[in-house]
Amino acid sequence: MEENIALELKDVSVAYGAEPTVHNVSMKFKKNQVSALIGASGSGKSTLLRSINRMNDGIANVTGQILFHAVDIHPPPPPVPHARQHLANTNQQPTPYTK
């Protein structure tokens, strides 16, 4: 069944400085399906999505693994544009990418 997984998070945590905001998230997203993260305001949904799209680079400390088709995309390489060519999220407030 692992061949049906497009994106997998393994023990992903995100911290801004010493302040952890997302703790040990593990989840799988199947290929060719729409997925949604739902939760209360301030629960870390946007922080997690920004970490997947590498929008938190240089801002937050991200640990764990973010696997896209079984390849860890969080530590460079691959370059940021490569990750963004294949992964996208839709926020309530639009965020333009520069590259």
User: Chunked in runs of 10, what are the mean pLDDT values of the chain (99 residues)?
Assistant: 86 92 95 89 90 86 91 70 62 64
∠ Cα 37 64 45 (to 5°): 20
At residue 51, the 3 state secondary structure works out as helix
Residue of 16, 13, 29, 99 whose CA lies nearest to 64: 13
Report d(CA 50, CA 9) in Å as an integer: 13
73 with 7: CB under 8 angstroms? no
**Predicted pLDDT of residue 70:** 86
**Predicted pLDDT of residue 83:** 62
38 with 32: CB under 8 angstroms? no
